[in-house]
A and B are shown apart, each in its own frame.
Chain A
């Protein structure tokens, strides 16, 4: 069987402990993944040369990243003792995650876009100063002296299995000269492993990469050992780290579309954009909308969304029309559906999708299960379902006066505000709940990579310092 080793300072390592990952639909084993004990992570952190990328200029690392983009999409790259083509990668990724093949390709293209446009991404993070300043440590910018040093000597990430596109978020660390220690998601070793191999093939020294499939304790050890990190996960996973400045937390997004008083009468024009914001990428991302907040017409908007999304069916991952991912563990889907039904017993919320569908929300196909798109209309914005996020296309439509919206929406990764009302816009601009703000009918999933997403990786890794040099006599 295919074996995916850990990578210790770039060297493959076969552990005595291996986890079998299974095909979501057939249950057949797809690969064995070597699992490291947490002591290995601490030991390697001591061994890794945190200046291994300082031998290269940012310009050289940007060029390697661009080359890695091409290799990621086209080359046969090492995978354990075998070579993996791009098509192999897509099939393997779909097989263990249950994500439709079409979405796997789409997510791969997101990674390609970030790597191929890495200079734009880095300039977005650094706000345009001359990047050679990072090579020398200081320089002139806009007539003044700038100096930075890298506080994040080694960068780590505890990664998810739900959406491969998120791997684009750690990718800029290489151009920013930080060696990596990555813990992949249990069902998704494929993307980070392939990205690492693409970087190595493009010329980045392999000693800059650690790939550590491990358990919960190992993940905690990785976050403790590295200087700076990213953590992906649900609220329970991320809560202990929310006040730890060394860890950038990527939890649920609770992204939303907001209507202003001035635009709500035109809601029908925006139904396609909102439905796409809810269901793109199978509804699995933190940038998918899980809420629509409107001053009125909530029920009508919810009914229109429910009708629009009712065409989405449970289809096998290799079907070109598949739009939602399978839950390889059918019990997880069953529990989510039961949780929603339980909350619907509380007055103030109605599942409007149920009337539009010919099937129940929970669908079984072979050994796996699917959850069909679900739109809830909430009369009461304090209802338990008014601000929830699940791993499938789910959104609540909530009525709320515009003047109360900024204070009521709660943490919101992406807010798309459909309004031209200057006063409303101004209050949204001042709203600390919102991480990314789109004014106008911009889908929540549409990101501009010249701006930081959910934290600025450059600021996470580097610190600015005051710097003076004595003038030559």
Chain B
């Protein structure tokens, strides 16, 4: 489904979809050339290439050709030497390692050099200066430890000329408490986290922006009015975010006075932007990936090569295409509805994202 609507530059959405696709195809060729060149690629993909039945540098000419790869296995990120993921072309650069939450077993680890900064600088361009003023300070009320978010939000804040205050939060401990039914202890820990945030908010008047998760936002707003504390913008993500929560946050928690920016992202892919809020979307939370650096397809869970039709629900399939990390066709633990390109996003989006219902054992979501 496409649209003939035009932008201020006079380009129709159909034309932009076509342009973006060409850009994606070209980007895909560049990334394949980088990762499978013995001079620049990482040991993992160079070794893997020897087991493949085709030469990706010859046969991947467009993004769709990545279907020739098998689905990326998350197990590859849970074990083995982390240095096998460092591209030779980036040898000698300072390396970060970021881990996933660990709620589905041993955490997945991914190396990072500049990607998280680039992702969040691009994302910064989608934030309004009224709600997230340049020079305003931030509160990072989210996970600490080996998390991309911890540094990425701080970088976003610094990129916008602010100073970022943060707290201690171990989400793996929260998950353990929930799994073992120790809900009283879980709430005590949540209170401990919220109290750290409240102390910072009350001590630093220039904090005008917050990153937090849906559950921590609820808990924070039970204690204080963020409007009265002078908060102007809330950037929210980390766990499932429903249309009902979106409405509740805008209307009640943020009292209709604070900008609310939901996001969907993870250590492996980067950060997907939320389609700007318009009442016609009925609070649906629709995300668009940062093409061409990463893509999300919504696929049939029983035939993961098939992208479902617009409006249909399927499992999220991620592809990351940066010089630091190549991850083709990774089946995420989420499902959602496929959305058509729109406005600034001339590629597919995913809406109403929630944990994939096809797992035998439901995933435990903590505060993060």
Contact = CB atoms under 8 A, between A and B. Distances in A.
Contacts of B282: 16
B244 A43 contact: no
B117 to A, nearest CB: 33
Contacts of A37: 242, 244-245, 248
B253 interface: yes
Interface in B198-235: 218-219, 221-222
A39 interface: yes
B218 A240 contact: no
A220 B247 CA distance: 22
A16 B283 contact: yes
Interface in A381-439: none
B243 A17 contact: yes
A40 B248 contact: yes
A43 B222 contact: yes
Contact of A16 (B221, B244, B252): B244
Nearest to B181: A240
A16 B247 CA distance: 8
Nearest to B365: A217
Given A16-B243, A17-B243, A39-B218, A224 B181 contact: no
Interface string B282-323: 110000000000000000000000000000000000000000
A240 B183 contact: yes
B222 A46 contact: yes
B244 A220 contact: no
Contacts of B218: 38-39, 42-43
Contacts of B252: 40, 43
Interface in B236-252: 242-248, 252
Contacts, number: 39
B221 to A, nearest CB: 8
A162 interface: no
A220 B182 CA distance: 12
Interface residues of A, number: 15
The DSSP consensus for interface residues of chain A is helix
Nearest to A40: B248
A224 B219 CA distance: 13
A36 B242 CA distance: 11
Size bin of chain B's contact surface: 10 to 19
B187 interface: yes
A87 interface: no
Contact of A17 (B183, B187, B221, B242): B242
A290 interface: no
Contact of B222 (A17, A42, A240): A42
Contacts of B253: 39, 43
Interface in A220-235: 220, 224
Contacts of A38: 218
Nearest to A44: B252
Nearest to B223: A46
A16 B242 CA distance: 9
A35 interface: yes
Nearest to B247: A16
Contacts of A15: 244
Contacts of B244: 15-17, 35-37
Interface string A1-43: 0000000000000011100000000000000000111111011
Contacts of B243: 16-17
A37 B242 CA distance: 9
Nearest to A41: B218
A39 B246 CA distance: 12
Interface in A354-374: none
Given A224-B187, A240-B181, A240-B183, A39 B248 contact: yes
B178 to A, nearest CB: 10
A335 B75 CA distance: 35
Nearest to B249: A39
Nearest to B283: A16
Interface string B185-197: 0010000000000
Contacts of A220: 183
A38 B248 CA distance: 10
Contacts of B181: 240
B245 A39 contact: yes
A220 B177 CA distance: 14
A16 B351 CA distance: 14
A414 to B, nearest CB: 29
A40 B253 CA distance: 9
A16 B246 CA distance: 9
B193 to A, nearest CB: 16
B301 to A, nearest CB: 21
A240 B187 CA distance: 14
Contacts of B283: 16
Nearest to A17: B244
A35 B244 CA distance: 9
Interface string A30-68: 000001111110110010000000000000000000000
Contacts of A36: 244
A372 B167 CA distance: 59
A17 B283 CA distance: 11
Interface of A: 15-17, 35-40, 42-43, 46, 220, 224, 240
24 contacts: A16-B243, A16-B244, A16-B246, A16-B247, A17-B242, A17-B244, A37-B242, A37-B244, A37-B245, A37-B248, A38-B218, A39-B245, A39-B248, A39-B253, A40-B248, A40-B252, A42-B222, A43-B218, A43-B222, A43-B252, A46-B222, A224-B183, A240-B181, A240-B183
- List of 5 A-B pairs having minimum Cβ-Cβ separation, nearest first: A39-B218, A16-B244, A16-B243, A17-B244, A42-B222
Given A16-B242, A43-B252, 18 more contacts: A16-B246, A16-B282, A17-B243, A17-B244, A37-B242, A37-B244, A37-B245, A38-B218, A39-B248, A40-B248, A42-B219, A43-B222, A43-B253, A46-B222, A224-B183, A224-B187, A240-B181, A240-B183
Interface of B: 181, 183, 187, 218-219, 221-222, 242-248, 252-253, 282-283
